[in-house]
Chain A
C-alpha cells in the first residue's frame, strides 16, 4: 500500500514521493501507522502521541476522498487503499502560516 506524507514528514523520513509499505490484512490505520513508524523511526511521535497513540490534533487522515481522522484506529481501510490502488493521505490541517 501507499502513504502520502506532508512535506515536513517526508523530510523527517528522508523520502521523496509516496511511501510504500507491505502490510498483512487486515489493513487498519493502526497497522499502517505501526508499519510506517517501524520503517521510519524518525516519524515516531510526529503523527500520533507516544503514550496515548492519539492522532496529533492538527493532522488528518483521508482515504478514497473520505475523512478517516475520527474513525476507529482498528477499522479496516477501504479495499482500494489496502490493495495499493489509492494512497492513505496524511495531511496537516490548514491552520496558521
Chain B
C-alpha cells in the first residue's frame, strides 16, 4: 500500500511525519539534529531511502547530513561516526563549500551589491536548498547563500561549484533580499537532463541548457517597483518557482509581489495574480496530476508577513492562474499571524493529491483532498523552514 513521508525542516531541528495512503493517522519522529537550523531536507527521487539535509548553525557553520534508510539514521557523508579514522588526509569534506576561483572552471570572485548599494565580497553562509538528481541518488545540487550553485556526485561527500552561474557577469547587480542573498529554488527538467532553472533573492531566475556551464537570466516580464529600473534584467526578488513534471517548460512564480507564469521556459512572464486578495507571498506549488492547478498562500505585504485579517488561507487556481478560490476548511479563521516560507509547501502524488504546508508558528497542515479540507498534522513544532513530501509505494 502507498504511504507518505513528510520531511519537515525547522528552526530547531528536523522532523519526519509518516502516514499510510489514507493520510489520517500520522507518526511523528524527531527532533533530529535538535537545536540546529534545518533549512531544507529532501529525498532522492531515484532512491527514496536516500535523504539529504542541510543543517546549519551560527556558531558551528554548515553541515550536510544524509540518511540511507529513509530517515531512521543519519550521518555526515563520507565520515565515520565511530572508531578511529585512518591516517592521512580526508577523502570527504561534506561541509566544504568553496567558491570556484580556478582559471579553468571558475572565475575570480567579483562582488555583489550590499543593502546600502556598495559592493560586497561573496561569502559563503549556508545551504538553503538541496535538490537531488532525478536519476542518480549520489548526485545532488545545493543552492547556497551567498548565491551560488554547487553539485556533489558522490552522495554529498564533496562539493564543487557550477561557477558559470555566479560568473554570468551580472553578479555586481545581485543583492540580498531581507533573508540574505540565497539561491533557494532549483528545478530539474525531467525531459532534458541538460536544462535546469534556479532562482535567487534578489537577482531573479536563471536557466541553463548545457548542464550548468552557461546561464541566462530569464526575467523578462517581471516588474519590481522597488528597483530603479523595475524591468531590469536582474535584481528581482523571486520568492519561489514551481513546475509540473509533465510540462517542464511551464513555470509558475511567486515573486516578492505578483504571481507570474511562463509558457516558454522562462523566456517571458505574464502576471496571473488575478483576483488574489494580495499577491505577496512566498510558497507556490502545482497539483501532482493537474498541471493547471496551483496553490499559493497570500501574505498581507512585504512589511507584514502574515495572512490578511488573521485568516490563514490557501488559494487555489484550477486555470493556471488569474481565477483563484480561497481554501479555508480546517484553517484558522482568526488571530493567525504566522508566515509560510518559500520552501514550506509540497504535494504528494497520491490520488487524490495531498497538499502540505508548514508555518512559522510550528504547524504543519495537510490536505488529502487537493486542498478542499485541511487538518493540522502537528501544531507545536519550532518555526517551519521547509516541507517536502515523498510518496512511497
Interface residues of chain A, those whose CB is within 8 Å of chain B, are: 6-9, 12, 14, 38-39, 41-42, 44-47, 49-51, 56, 58-59, 92-93, 95-96
Confirm or deny: B81 has a beta carbon within 8 angstroms of a beta carbon on chain A. Answer: yes
Contacts A8-B36, A39-B85: A46 and B60 contacting too (C-beta < 8 A)? Answer: yes
The residue that A8 contacts in the complex, of B59, B84, B92, B95, with Cβ under 8 A, is: B59
The residue that B58 contacts in the complex, of A44, A51, A96, with Cβ under 8 A, is: A96
Contacts A8-B35, A50-B93: A42 and B76 contacting too (C-beta < 8 A)? Answer: yes
The number of chain B residues touching the other chain, given as a range, is 20 to 34
Confirm or deny: B293 has a beta carbon within 8 angstroms of a beta carbon on chain A. Answer: no
Confirm or deny: B247 has a beta carbon within 8 angstroms of a beta carbon on chain A. Answer: no
Extra inter-chain contacts (10) besides given A8-B59, A14-B82, A46-B63, CB under 8 Å: A8-B36, A12-B60, A39-B85, A42-B76, A45-B62, A50-B93, A50-B96, A50-B98, A56-B61, A95-B58
* Chain B min CB distance to A37 (Å): 9
Q: Contact: B59 with A92, CB < 8 Å?
A: yes
Q: Which residues of chain B have C-beta atoms less than 8 A from A12's C-beta?
A: 60, 63
Q: Which residues of chain B have C-beta atoms less than 8 A from A92's C-beta?
A: 59-60
Q: Contact: A56 with B60, CB < 8 Å?
A: yes
Chain B, residues 300-340, CB within 8 Å of chain A (1/0): the string is 00000000000000000000000000000000000000000
CA distance A39 to B60 in the complex (A): 18
CA distance A46 to B95 in the complex (A): 9
CA distance A49 to B124 in the complex (A): 11
A39 to chain B: closest residue by CB: B84
Q: Which residues of chain A have C-beta atoms less than 8 A from B60's C-beta?
A: 8-9, 12, 46-47, 56, 59, 92
Q: Which residues of chain B have C-beta atoms less than 8 A from A6's C-beta?
A: 59
Q: Contact: A41 with B80, CB < 8 Å?
A: yes
Q: Which residues of chain B have C-beta atoms less than 8 A from A45's C-beta?
A: 61-63, 93, 95-96
CA distance A18 to B100 in the complex (A): 37
Chain B, residues 15-55, CB within 8 Å of chain A (1/0): the string is 00000000000000000000110000000000000000000
A96 to chain B: closest residue by CB: B58
A45 to chain B: closest residue by CB: B95
Q: Which residues of chain B have C-beta atoms less than 8 A from A56's C-beta?
A: 59-61
A-B pairs, 9 with minimum CB distance: A46-B60, A50-B96, A58-B59, A45-B95, A92-B59, A41-B79, A42-B79, A42-B76, A41-B85
Q: Which residues of chain A have C-beta atoms less than 8 A from B90's C-beta?
A: 41, 44
Q: Which residues of chain B have C-beta atoms less than 8 A from A38's C-beta?
A: 85, 87
Contacts A8-B35, A45-B96: A93 and B84 contacting too (C-beta < 8 A)? Answer: no
Q: Which residues of chain A have C-beta atoms less than 8 A from B81's C-beta?
A: 14, 42
